[in-house]
């Protein structure tokens, strides 16, 4: 045994001296990286060093400065003996990838040049200008529309609203950003990916329609869709009913603790009434409430409704919505009933607990019903979303027993205090409330995993919500984040989202508060990268 140990020690010393001697000029090696597309995947590959080595692939939030070591903006790194890696397209576009080779004791040579994921996937800024929706509602000659058809199209990520136009002939400028000279009518009052058109006063039997997305600065976000021809039969009767636009339990995911119901509106509605049922309705396509109604709420001029009841009783439920006019009369009928399942077992492993940043939504027009705007959609482990929009740290403490304990999660990811601090609640009080949540977790066998608070952008918040932020918010955020970093289990989000001015950059949150898709992806991947560390 002693002889084997001696031989091994000599071998290690020899390898160390060989790597240090640079006999093979390994210090001159620089990986040359490239990307190839195979099916729907992107394969990152690089040249191999002429020496037994493993490779480290780093993912950064900003371009590396020179050839130095990684900055504090590194999200995650992967180690492999191979010279290729499949890129995860759920990473944010604003990420950079680079490769380095490593021997047993030393890095061999220099880092490769970095590759930007946006350029790799073809999602450059220039390509964004060519985004266009795709119509998903068709009315051919064999199945014409009534005079009040429901038109739908694919969502354009980041669109705040849409402009739809109706044409008497095919556009002379297809896939352009300018209106057509054949325009009959257009509307910009479209805040979801659907529109209930009123063509009652149009005498023709066919029309063309197309739609484009608009960003938060009222600029085109891409071009008009391909024009779709629609045949019209004015003699057809119209059954007006909202079109549900929120789906739950996608890919076996858990329903939100506080569900959000969304729909495409109908002509002539002043407000909407949503009802939740514990059985399928006995009166589909009716105008009267169901006998199985267990909850309802009216919302004015809205496209979504936030459930005020935490759904903790297991079972299958249904929701539907109807339109009402200014005199409280039904406009059309109830929408089709959409089922959703409450399964407490979905939260046994992990749950996320917090305010609207946890609940979901972003880009001004998107709610937690839009899964792309929830960071949980990009996590590498199962979780249930226990977020509630508008929460303060105090309200999180108050609802802990009722909302968290029924799920009995092993791990609870906690992000709270933003609403409290920006509203003027002192950091000392928020710390007391976060400590209370921590203590409640520990008393119930739950491991609390805190997330540091990302910064906000007060000017964007005021522009979007007409809400002021206290002047000393940065100082108060820093105090709370210092407390969070002192906890046994925490994941540090704040450095990745802080711009040079100390605020949240626009490209992560248009409204200055709720992270958009890019922000939610980055948030999730930071959590993924540190999950093993905080759960082992």
CATH number for the segment(s) 345-535:
3.40.50.1110
Q: Which fold has domain 24-121?
A: Immunoglobulin-like (2.60.40)
**Tell me, what's the pLDDT at 120?**
64
Backbone angles phi and psi of 331, in degrees to 5? -105, 105
d(CA 478, CA 430): 12
Intervals of the chain under pLDDT 70: 1-2, 4, 7-8, 10-25, 39-41, 66-72, 88-91, 93, 104-105, 117-130
Superfamily (CATH) of domain 243-342: Immunoglobulins (2.60.40.10)
Encoding tokens for residue 344? 């407490």
**Tell me, what's the pLDDT at 126?**
46
d(CA 228, CA 118): 31
DSSP secondary structure letters along 157-181: TT-SEEEEEEESS--SSTT-SSPPT
**For the CA atoms of 272, 273, 276, 280, what is the dihedral angle to 10 degrees?**
-90
Q: Which residues make Cβ contacts (< 8 Å) with residue 126, sequence separation at least 6?
A: none
Domains 129-238 and 243-342 share a fold: yes
Contact of 269 with 250, CB cutoff 8 Å = no
Domain boundaries, the chain: 24-121, 129-238, 243-342, 345-535
CATH number for the segment(s) 129-238:
2.60.40.10
pLDDT tens-digit map of 95-111: 788 888 887 667 777 88
Query: Hey, is 22 helix, strand or coil?
Result: coil
pLDDT tens-digit map of 230-273: 999 999 988 899 999 988 888 778 999 999 999 999 999 999 99
d(CA 386, CA 394): 15
d(CA 296, CA 335): 14
Which stretches of 147-278 are assigned E, i.e. beta strand?
150-152, 161-167, 183-190, 194-196, 206-214, 228-231, 243-244, 260-264, 271-277
């Amino acid at each position: 045994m002693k002889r084997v140990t001696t031989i091994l020690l000599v071998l290690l010393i020899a390898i160390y001296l060989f790597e240090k001697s640079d006999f093979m000029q390994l210090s001159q090696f620089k990986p040359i990286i490239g990307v190839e597309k195979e099916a729907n995947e992107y394969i990152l590959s690089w040249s191999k060093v002429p020496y037994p080595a493993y490779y480290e692939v780093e993912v950064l939030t900003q371009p590396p400065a020179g050839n130095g070591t990684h900055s504090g903006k590194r999200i995650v790194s992967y180690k492999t003996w191979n010279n290729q890696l499949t890129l995860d397209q759920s990473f944010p576009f604003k990420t950079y990838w680079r490769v380095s080779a490593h021997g047993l004791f030393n890095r061999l040579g220099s880092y490769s040049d970095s590759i930007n994921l946006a350029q790799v996937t073809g999602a450059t800024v220039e390509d964004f200008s060519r985004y266009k929706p795709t119509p998903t509602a068709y009315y051919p000659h064999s199945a014409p529309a009534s005079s009040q058809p429901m038109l739908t199209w694919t969502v354009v990520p980041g669109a705040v609203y849409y402009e739809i136009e109706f044409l008497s002939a095919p556009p002379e400028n297809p896939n352009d950003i300018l209106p057509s000279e054949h325009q009959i009518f257009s509307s910009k009052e479209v805040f979801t990916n659907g529109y209930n058109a009123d063509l009652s006063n149009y005498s023709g039997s066919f029309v063309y329609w197309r739609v484009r997305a608009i960003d938060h600065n009222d600029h085109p976000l891409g071009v008009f869709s391909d024009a779709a021809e629609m045949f019209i039969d004015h003699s057809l009767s119209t059954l007006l009913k909202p079109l549900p636009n929120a789906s739950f339990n996608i890919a076996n995911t858990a329903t939100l603790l506080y569900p959000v119901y969304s729909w495409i509106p109908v002509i002539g509605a002043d407000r909407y009434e949503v009802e939740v049922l514990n059985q399928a309705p006995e009166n589909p396509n009716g105008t009267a409430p169901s006998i199985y109604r267990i909850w309802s709420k009216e919302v004015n001029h809205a496209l979504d409704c936030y459930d005020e009841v935490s759904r903790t009783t297991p079972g299958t439920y249904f929701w539907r919505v109807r339109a009402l006019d200014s005199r409280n009369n039904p406009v059309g009928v109830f929408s089709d009933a959409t089922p959703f399942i409450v399964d407490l077992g979905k939260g046994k492993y992990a749950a996320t607990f917090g305010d609207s940043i946890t609940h979901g939504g972003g880009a001004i027009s998107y709610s937690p019903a839009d899964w792309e705007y929830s960071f949980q959609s990009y996590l590498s482990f199962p979780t249930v979303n226990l977020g509630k929009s508008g929460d303060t740290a105090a309200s999180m403490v108050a609802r802990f027993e009722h909302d968290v304990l029924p799920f009995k999660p092993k791990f609870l990811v906690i992000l709270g205090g933003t609403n409290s601090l920006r509203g003027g609640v002192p950091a000392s009080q928020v710390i007391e409330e976060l400590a209370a949540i921590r203590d409640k977790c520990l008393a119930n066998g739950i491991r609390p995993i805190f997330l540091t608070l990302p910064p906000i952008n007060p000017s964007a918040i005021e522009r979007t919500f007409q809400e002021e932020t206290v002047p000393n918010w940065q100082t108060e955020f820093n105090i709370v984040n210092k407390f969070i970093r002192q906890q046994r289990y925490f994941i540090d989000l704040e450095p990745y989202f802080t711009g040079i001015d100390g605020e949240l950059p626009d490209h992560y949150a248009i409204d200055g508060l709720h992270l958009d898709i890019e922000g939610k992806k980055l948030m999730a991947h930071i959590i993924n990268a540190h999950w093993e560390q905080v759960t082992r």
